[in-house]
Structure 1
């Protein structure tokens, strides 16, 4: 177990059992092993993975009371960030991981199986398609994403999954004021309202992180999200 990792989590008020630390270690090992044959991450050094993937994923605790959240969806999860670290650290969460690449889904299913995680499942497909399915639409307390996309596009991918009264929190870095301003219309159209922006540095580092907290104040219109490809090609303005 890394004392540095433990210290950084403690700084965020997160305390884990020995088993949970072991799960993080196993996750790291699987990530590195699978990364040899497919592109999961450019970050492979142990402490760096702990900091830039695990601690960063868990930093959402600075923006929301995780104890009050039951269901989480991670859109464009990639190698499982932030969804799997959140599930390991907060076992009460029911987590859904969505990604469009089947190879990544196979990796995620292996991690879930090896770590013996329960109440977490993967879906393979595009955000625009699954948001039309009754069992997923407006069904989540919290939707998160570390995917790289502008806020207008990301909001159209994510807000249809958030239940009214729930939250959408995209992980951003640097100054996002202009991006937020450009997305105001999209948020309004999709039923969201910006509640706050939380800026901080990851514990013990100079890595800046910005979390935008968007509350779902009304149901998303049935015509959203638009068909696959359109949210990225023609963001709502």
Structure 2
């Protein structure tokens, strides 16, 4: 068995609820990400051998806790190479995803990948979250190591839609590495829940990684 086949077998063991159709699209996505990463640095080149078991697995941990109603609106801030927005859009075809980044070449790459994957539930925007229409709101705003937590919260806390029946409750879902408590000490922010991803998925060897939920 090749290293690639072994990686996908591990992922399917870790996330058994995902369908064969989803796995096929995720494989197509990682192939496109590798293709583009040869031209533009989207993911650290030293991580490419572990793309599936490190970066993709990291993003897919969200599927263990997130249950979305039809037409739920999700904003991925600082999407970079489409992580976590594209994998989540593949896993939640009933929801609508907006992928936002301020760097033009990354937006161009994500547009190409979304088009080639034929993802109809994804919109890509170039810009900063502060520049989005003030009245536009989302069920969840997701970020992956974009900036300090208090800064991210300040950018997006007024863009959360209230009252939808998703689980967990509408809010911010933030993927954070390292000690998040230091960032929150002087901010007055209190997460609704924190998941230690290395504890929930020890086989992946993610290290000190957390999924943090702020309920608005």
- Equivalences, count: 203
State the alpha-carbon separation in 1 of the partners of residues 28 and 59 from structure 2: 17
Show the counterpart of 1:226. Answer: none
Q: In structure 2, which of residues 117, 120, 128 is the aligned counterpart of residue 118 of structure 1?
A: 120
TM-score where L is the length of structure 1:
0.77
1:102 has 2:100 as partner: no
Q: How does 1:59-78 map to 2 (within 5 A)?
A: 59-62=61-64, 64-68=65-69, 70-78=72-80
- Corresponding position of 1:33: 35
Distance 1:83 1:155 in 2: 18
How far apart, CA to CA, are the structure 2 residues paired with 1:44 and 1:27?
Answer: 19
Structure 1 gaps of 5+ residues are 188-192, 217-237
Measured after TM superposition, the shift of residue 9 of structure 1 is: 4.3
Of residues 38-47 and 71-80 in structure 1, the stretch that sits farther from structure 2 once superposed is 38-47
Task: Judge which range, 95-104 or 46-55, deviates more.
Answer: 46-55
Secondary structure at the aligned position of 1:106 is classed as helix
Q: Deviations over 1:67-110 (max 9, x none)?
A: 44722110011000101000112211210000001111111111
Gaps of at least 5 residues in structure 2 are 164-169
Q: CA deviation at 1:145?
A: 0.3
User: What SS does the corresponding residue of 1:107 show, helix, strand or coil?
Assistant: helix
TM-score with structure 2 setting the length: 0.83
Alpha-carbon distance between aligned partners in 1 of 2:202 and 2:117, rounded to the nearest angstrom? 26
The 1:115–1:149 alpha-carbon spacing in structure 2 relative to 1, beyond 3 Å, is same
